[in-house]
Amino acid sequence: MWCTFWSSPPHGSSISLSCPRSTALSAVTGFSVDTNQPIVFQSSDQGFGYQVAQMDKRVIVSAPLHQPSTNKSGQLYQCDPGSGKCQPISISGRISHNVSLHNQNGHTACGPTLQRVCGKNIYVNGRCYRLDNRLRLQESLPAKLPDCNVFNLDVALLIDGSGSINSRDFRLMLDFVSKVMEAFKDTETRFALMQYSSTFETHFDFNQFAAARNPSDLVQGITQLRSVTKTSSAIIRVDELFTPQAGSRDGAQRVLIVITDGETYGETPRYDVAIGRANIMGVLRFVIGVSEYSESQHNPTDHHNATGILCW
């Protein structure tokens, strides 16, 4: 027994079914196809009839573009030629069902757009579902999707505001800070900003960043401290930002980005102390060099154990 299907293009909302005129959906040896009065299945679902498969006395119809809710896309239907009505097949998951293949054991419905929300991001994966002859869900392929690991970053920006930094480069620092924060908008990344010279000034901590409607506004109005440069003391001092009181989160990867010209005056460098404390706190460290970055102030082999060093 076989039937012929066709749908109204594009993304048709109805499909037509032509079966042997003698007895619809029953075995016959001779027949003529009824093209004048076909059985019509209709639905307002977008994409209804994209793919059709016959299964015994039922017809399986996909509507991959239908979105019944914000958490689900795509729908499969089983349609009864006797009544002309279609009922949805229950399959959980945010998936666009666009394939339905029949075999002796049932159907396999697949879709490439299984949506998974992980933090504030949406990831798309493909997944298949095996259905038995009664259209009951038997298994999912793959059986388990990758775990969602929300990756939190707490980034402390330490900028050199000493007198060896000219006004133009200091403005470039602030522009860089604004662009970095904008690049990580709508992610699980928080920022804090401290400026240093011979003194230290916290412009905003992680709590203030999280509460700000427009974090870039936090950078406006910052003035340069001037005076001498105490880089190692500043690295030690920035530890106070990686505390719960300042909004640093348990389990977050802590990152320190130092923006400097590399010059250090007014102190005996204590990088061993600063690095030791940073290691204990699990702080990943980067240095960004500005202007005429002084390599002489840094061991060229490890840059005081910074993970990376960039210059502009």
Q: What is the dihedral of CA 28, 31, 36, 42, to 10 degrees?
A: 20
**158 and 306 housed in the same domain:** yes
**130 and 168 housed in the same domain:** no
**Domain with 272 in it: what CATH number?**
3.40.50.410
Note whether 269 and 299 are within 8 A (CB). Answer: no
Hey, what are 14's tokens?
């109805």
Note whether 222 and 249 are within 8 A (CB). Answer: no
**137 and 157 housed in the same domain:** no
Residue 146 lies in a domain: no
**171 and 296 housed in the same domain:** yes
Alpha-carbon dihedral sign for residues 18, 23, 27, 29: negative
What mean pLDDT comes out for the span 117-138? Answer: 76
Residue predicted with more confidence, 250 or 42: 250
Among the candidates 141, 176, 201, a domain finishes at 141
Among the candidates 93, 117, 141, a domain finishes at 141
Is pLDDT at 31 greater than 90 in this prediction? no
User: Is residue 300 reached through a cis peptide bond, with omega within 30 degrees of 0 on the bond before it?
Assistant: no
Domain that holds residue 286: 153-311
**54 and 99 housed in the same domain:** yes
Within the chain, how many helices (H) and strands (E) appear?
4, 17
Hey, what are 277's tokens?
């404390």
What is the amino acid identity at position 90? S
- Residues 51-104 pLDDT 10s: 888 777 888 888 877 776 655 667 888 898 888 889 888 776 555 555 555 566
> Structure pTM?
0.54
Which strand ranges, in their side-by-side order, compose the sheet holding 14-18?
Answer: 4-7, 14-18, 39-42
Is pLDDT at 9 greater than 90 in this prediction? no
Residue 147 lies in a domain: no
**170 and 287 housed in the same domain:** yes
Is pLDDT at 228 greater than 80 in this prediction? yes
**40 and 108 housed in the same domain:** yes
Hey, what are 130's tokens?
């095996």
Q: How far apart are CA 201 and CA 186, in angstroms?
A: 27
- Residues 89-111 pLDDT 10s: 877 655 555 555 556 667 777 76
Alpha-carbon dihedral sign for residues 245, 248, 249, 250: negative
- Per-residue confidence (pLDDT) for residue 51, from 0 to 100: 80
- Residues 266-299 pLDDT 10s: 677 677 887 888 888 889 999 898 866 545 444 4
Mean pLDDT of the residues in the chain: 77
| Domain total of the chain | 2
What mean pLDDT comes out for the span 1-16? Answer: 51
- Per-residue confidence (pLDDT) for residue 312, from 0 to 100: 35
**157 and 299 housed in the same domain:** yes
**288 and 165 housed in the same domain:** yes
**67 and 207 housed in the same domain:** no
Q: Return phi, psi of residue 66, to 5°.
A: -70, 135
Is pLDDT at 216 greater than 80 in this prediction? yes
Is pLDDT at 25 greater than 60 in this prediction? no
Among the candidates 141, 176, 198, a domain finishes at 141
| Cα-Cα end-to-end distance for the chain | 74
* Chain position carrying tokens 């002084």: 294
154 DSSP β-pair partners: 190, 254
Hey, what are 71's tokens?
């958490």
Residue 196 lies in a domain: yes
Q: How far apart are CA 226 and CA 221, in angstroms?
A: 15
Kindly provide the residue ranges of all beta strands, DSSP E only, lying in 29-160, ordered along the sequence: 39-42, 52-55, 58-63, 75-80, 85-89, 99-103, 106-118, 121-131, 137-141, 153-160
What is the amino acid identity at position 171? R
Give percent of the chain above pLDDT 70.
Answer: 69
**Three-point CA angle 294, 295, 299, nearest 5°:** 140
Residue 100 lies in a domain: yes
- Per-residue confidence (pLDDT) for residue 18, from 0 to 100: 54
